[in-house]
Amino acid sequence: MSSREEERQRKQLERLQKERERTAALSVYERKYRDRGMICGIDEAGRGPFAGPVVAGAVILPADSEILYLNDSKKLSAKKREQLYDVIMEQAVAVGIGMAGPARIDEINILQATYEAMRMAIGNLKVRPDLLLNDAVTIPEVDIEQVAIIGGDAKSVSIAAASIVAKVTRDRLMEEYDSVLPGYSFAQNKGYGTKAHIEALRRLGPSPIHRATFIRKYVSDGFDL
């Protein structure tokens, strides 16, 4: 083996070791509450967009889980999120997904709709968790102990996994919407209020998946909201 190849392998091993250490540090809450039983991470995707649903993910990982490269979904590339999504779905003890659509968001507001999606995600788990680790929020009307962690998707492997599941699920939905509602570039902007999206909104008017309460100032009075 050449010295160059040896150096390359040495650096690969160093990077792998650093990633294992980072992942171990992300499991601090899971270790802290290990004696509580089944720990479930909760997170959402899509609170801010002009269109599409808000999606919540609930993930219970095995106690000895070591899925490398887990992180806040916003810090990962789309390709890495897709790869991790497959690993999570394969290794998780249970995964639950919930969502609230645009009409429901307009009806009860985005915060309450997010809570509703989170409750739905918990309800769709095949295993009842004993403790919830949530990204920043405490979910009303849930009779399971909760721990709210500010910035939790970057501090807990369970919440990071839930973040990835929610984000990938929602992104795939928005790509499907793009094929049946062309013109808004939903596959690219995922419903967020980019300049091009706002221009399309003004040109075409709202689609069936736009949130009326989010877009009032961008459309003319002639559109029925």
Strands (E), the chain: 39-45, 54-60, 94-100, 131-135, 145-149
**Could you tell me if 148 and 122 are in contact, meaning their C-beta atoms sit under 8 angstroms apart?**
no
Neighbours of 205 (CB within 10 A): 15
What pLDDT is recorded for position 224?
Answer: 46
- pTM, to two decimals: 0.91
> Residue 130: is it exposed, middle or buried by C-beta count within 10 angstroms (0-12/13-18/19+)?
middle
What pLDDT is recorded for position 1?
Answer: 64
Please state whether beta strands 94-100 and 39-45 pair in parallel, antiparallel, or not at all (unpaired).
unpaired
Question: In the beta sheet, which residues pair with residue 98?
Answer: 56
Burial 157-168 (b: 16+ CB within 10 A, else e): bbbbbbbbbbbb
What pLDDT is recorded for position 225?
Answer: 43
Distance, CA of 71 to CA of 43 (rounded, Å): 12
- In the numeric block, the tokens 């609170």 are attached to 47
What pLDDT is recorded for position 222?
Answer: 43
**Could you tell me if 209 and 177 are in contact, meaning their C-beta atoms sit under 8 angstroms apart?**
yes
Distance, CA of 47 to CA of 149 (rounded, Å): 18
What pLDDT is recorded for position 15?
Answer: 83
**Could you tell me if 136 and 150 are in contact, meaning their C-beta atoms sit under 8 angstroms apart?**
yes
Q: Which domains does the chain have, with CATH numbers?
A: 3-218 (3.30.420.10)
Question: In the beta sheet, which residues pair with residue 210?
Answer: 51
**What is the full DSSP assignment across 145-208?**
EEEEETTGGGT-HHHHHHHHHHHHHHHHHHHHHHHHSTTS-HHHHTT---HHHHHHHHHH---T
**Could you tell me if 40 and 142 are in contact, meaning their C-beta atoms sit under 8 angstroms apart?**
no
| Tens-digit pLDDT string for the chain (225 aa) | 677 777 777 777 888 888 888 888 889 999 999 999 999 999 999 999 999 999 999 999 999 888 988 888 888 999 999 999 999 999 999 999 999 999 999 999 999 999 999 999 999 999 999 999 999 999 999 999 999 999 998 899 999 999 999 999 999 999 999 999 999 999 999 999 999 999 999 999 999 999 999 999 888 644 444
What pLDDT is recorded for position 138?
Answer: 97
The CA-based angle 44-47-48, given to 5 degrees, is 140
